[in-house]
Amino acid sequence: MSEGYMRAGVLTAPGAIAIRQQTIPEPGPGEVRIRMKAVGICGSDVSIFQGHRPDLLFPLVIGHEGLGYVDKTGEGVSQLQVGDRVVIEPNFPCGHCDFCWQGRGNICPNKRIFGVRETGCFADYALAPEHFVWRVPDAVSDDDAVVIEPTAVALHTLFTSPARPGDPVAVVGMGAIGLLVAYLAVRMGYKVLAYDRVQEKVDRAVELGAVPVDASTTTAQIAQIWKDASVHTVFECAGAAPAFTMALEAAPRGSYVVVAGLADGLSNLSEFSITRQGITILTSIIYDHPVDFRRTIALIESGFLRPGQIISAKESFDRLPNALEMACRGQHAKIVLSLSS
């Protein structure tokens, strides 16, 4: 690599990504430059790669689950220093709109989205605002640190529900977020029933303490299993329209369905059935700034959570195109790319 240049994973069109040389960026006022050590591949990265976001502009450096070291600070930065090990909180609400003033920055219409609407961290270096970069405590391992962001998503999802420790809950979809919701719920004392169409993913949830629902089970059978278990809340984390339809059809009378998946297809809903059975639909999107990241880091630092367990594969950054193809096949819970030692 030439001096002054870095590697960057540049998406030029859906399905077309390559490692290119780019100039190492300089931090502006209030920004820090981070030398990336590891980045996770998220389901939204896969969705962008597959072309499910036609609103985006190319070329684009995607990636938002980043762990690294502060390499340089811009004017006005006071809370972080060169050498700090940090993770990025990749959604930047404006802090000034009505929603931000209501404490609902997660749906801020003005929020900047790192790695989606602006340059992300599939690169050797990345820039981020100081207030959205978190110092990682020494007690937190790199594996746990690189999944802090999706763990914060899962924590927010769990806390969106009125279910409390001791309640039986069901989780549909054992991708990274579903696994983390199941793991957090188990650790906090919920009884968790886990379902996915891929049995191997259900098996991963069982390793984390969940009760399995066989992948071949029909919707009617799932409904009976959930009813017999007195399921209080169903978390839909699959991000697929059929999964949302199934969750609503099988949800027990009077229960809650929390939608954390981001399906872009149409679901089949029966207003009569939902209303007659008193089903309440709640939605959960990303997390609240700054409380959910703060809580997540504190829970990991204390040793209560070890979310790095969901990492199922590690690849060199130079294998980014191959790693994205692997992620598209849907067999891995979390793939992490290594950029530096």
**275: pLDDT confidence band, cut at 50, 70 and 90?**
very high
Q: What is the pLDDT of residue 273?
A: 86
**Distance between CA 67 and CA 144 in Å, rounded?**
10
Over residues 200-225, mean pLDDT: 96
Percent helix, strand, coil in the chain, to 5, is 30, 25, 40
Residue 305: CA atoms inside 13 Å, Cβ hemisphere, count?
29
Any idea which architecture 154-283 has in CATH?
3-Layer(aba) Sandwich (3.40)
Over residues 135-144, mean pLDDT: 98
| Torsion angle of the four alpha carbons 133, 139, 141, 147, in this order, in degrees rounded to the nearest 10 | -40
341 pLDDT above the threshold of 60:
no
Lowest mean pLDDT among 75-79, 92-96, 231-235, 241-245: 241-245
Q: Please give the C-alpha separations between residue 163 and each of 167, 191, 255, in angstroms, as whole numbers.
A: 6, 11, 10
Determine the distance from the C-alpha atom of residue 230 to the mean position of all C-alpha atoms in its chain, rounded to a whole number. 28
140 pLDDT above the threshold of 70:
yes
207 pLDDT above the threshold of 90:
yes
| Average pLDDT across the chain, whole number | 95
* 284 SS3 class: coil
Could you tell me the strand order of the sheet in which 211-212 lies?
211-212, 191-195, 168-172, 233-236, 256-259, 280-283
Class for domain 5-147+311-338, per CATH? alpha beta
Domain ranges of the chain: 5-147+311-338, 154-283
**95: pLDDT confidence band, cut at 50, 70 and 90?**
very high
Q: Is the peptide bond before 59 cis (omega within 30 degrees of 0)?
A: yes
Helical residues (DSSP H) of the chain, grouped into ranges: 43-49, 98-101, 142-146, 148-160, 176-187, 199-207, 219-228, 241-250, 271-276, 291-301, 320-328
**pLDDT more than 90, % of the chain:** 91
Over residues 55-77, mean pLDDT: 95
Q: What is the pLDDT of residue 119?
A: 96
262 pLDDT above the threshold of 90:
no
Q: What is the pLDDT of residue 53?
A: 84
Backbone angles phi, psi at 317, to 5 degrees: -60, -30
Burial of 333 per CB tally in 10 Å (0-12, 13-18, 19+): buried
Work out whether the CA dihedral 143, 149, 154, 159 comes out positive or negative: positive
Q: What is the pLDDT of residue 62?
A: 96
Q: What is the pLDDT of residue 1?
A: 61
Q: What is the pLDDT of residue 100?
A: 95
**pLDDT more than 70, % of the chain:** 99
**Distance between CA 181 and CA 165 in Å, rounded?**
13
**Distance between CA 155 and CA 161 in Å, rounded?**
10
170 pLDDT above the threshold of 90:
yes
